[in-house]
Amino acid sequence: MTAFNNKVEAERESFRTSYQSKKPFKYLIIDDVLKEKIAHKIHDEYPRVTDGEWDGTTYLDQQNKFRKEVFEKNSLMQNVFDELNSEAFLEWLNYITGIEEPLIADPKLIGGGLHQSTNGAFLNVHVDFNFHPKTRFHRRLNVLIYMNIDWKDEYEGHLELWEIDDVNKNLLEKISPKFNRLVLFETNEISFHGHPKPLKIPADVSRKSLATYYYTKTRPASEIAGDHNTIYVNTQGAKGSIKRFKSGVKAALERINK
């Protein structure tokens, strides 16, 4: 794994222990995950949302969030995603997570790739779609690597992990999207996550991340649910409802004006 900091392999036992200890769903945070020169090169070459083709469609539960999944062959970004989808990284993920079924990468990066959010952006708390739309494999893991130098808390944009059931909504952790930080978490019916608070950032700042998702052909029977798309939850009460309404109006206007 040539792009990764040496500690990713050297400290795999402690990473495995940390990941396995989390409840009600498992996750792991690793800072300085990529070699410093490579991380800075990714940051410096990160394309603006005005460069190339980005999907910035607005929805009720998401706005000002852009995604790019296709890159030139042998480009820096394609090479980085190739490493994130490599057999060596898949083996590392299998070991850290203890998932018995061989993990499968998605070279098409459906839903993943480069993510970039501008001022006012939010992504409401949710659980992800549970089957790959093409292969029908079970979605098992998310990996996010943040590319935000000098990110300030007042910008908002923290990744929030939630424990949500029929009775309670409990915030488990708020994770700052700081530069060169990896977040790994399992994808199941209780792995609620998002960044619901709208970004408050200057015009020359954006929230950047690399996202890859991993699958298996099967999964434990106790974890299997009916096929579903992303399921959103309002964690902000009346404020969240107003935010969704405004985003819905924006989404409708976008579609009318196409």
In tens, the pLDDT along 167-219 reads: 899 999 999 999 999 999 999 999 999 999 999 999 999 999 999 999 999 99
255 burial type by CB count under 10 A (0-12 exposed, 13-18 middle, 19+ buried)? exposed
- State how far the Cα of 119 lies from the Cα of 63, in Å rounded to an integer: 10
- Tokens for 182? 């990896």
Partner residues linked to 184 by β-bridges: 28, 143
pLDDT at residue 52 greater than cutoff 90: no
Planar angle of CA 147, 71, 128, nearest 5 degrees? 60
Domain 7-256 class? Answer: mainly beta
Percent of the chain whose predicted confidence (pLDDT) is above 70: 100
Residue 243 pLDDT: 94
Distances (CA, A) of 247 to 21, 28, 63, 89, 139: 37, 31, 7, 37, 28
d(CA 147, CA 178): 7
Instruction: Name the residue among 185, 186, 188, 184 with its Cα closest to residue 224.
Output: 188
* Mean pLDDT computed over every residue of the chain: 96
Residue 254 is predicted with a pLDDT of: 87
Could you tell me the pLDDT band of residue 257, with boundaries at 50, 70 and 90?
A: confident
User: Where in the chain are the domains?
Assistant: 7-256
pLDDT, tens only, 1-51: 799 999 999 999 999 999 999 999 999 999 999 999 999 999 999 999 988
